[in-house]
Amino acid sequence: MPDADKDSVVAAMTAAAFGAAGQRCMAISVGVFVGESKEWIPDIIAEAKKLKVGTGINSDTDIPPVITPEAKARIESLITESEAQGASVPLDGRNIDVEGYSNGNVGATVLDDCTTEMAGYTEEIFGPVLTCVHVDTLDEAIELINENKCGNGTAIFT
């Protein structure tokens, strides 16, 4: 919601979307931005750019590898499909290469200007990808969430 504390939203969404490479139960995979709150997406991108992609054995890694090379291929495929469907990709984590470990990482990715018909929304990506959907009102956000077939948890920042 536009009345939320922006800094709290940016910090929470960055951690929830990209932490554990987005491969944990209850990771935030879709952000529904109401009204002017969509103007905070560049702030989320700026924070995500600070995250270090690396191996799971380095303590300074913020975004570890995904579970398998097949998972990486699936995640990158869904990003590509969403882009082909009209999503913008203002932060692209495809083709990340961690020296010596080239098969396992996907960097923080933001899909913006998404609709509920795009792959980034209809599929659970299970990767470090935040799909951004814009609505004008809280009622529209609630309706959109209630119509989602996945029925996962939600949170509201207000």
Q: Examine the residue annotation and report whether 25 is marked as an active-site residue of this protein.
A: yes
In the beta sheet, which residues pair with residue 131?
Answer: 30, 111
CA quadruple 76, 83, 9, 148: dihedral positive or negative?
negative
**Residue 38 in tokens:** 């969509």
Torsions phi, psi of 107, nearest 5? Answer: -85, 170
Checking phi first, is residue 126 left (phi over 0); if not, alpha (psi -120 to 50) or beta? Answer: left
Q: Which of 25, 114, 132, 150 is catalytic?
A: 25
Separation CA 22–CA 46 (nearest Å): 18
Residues catalogued as catalytic: 25
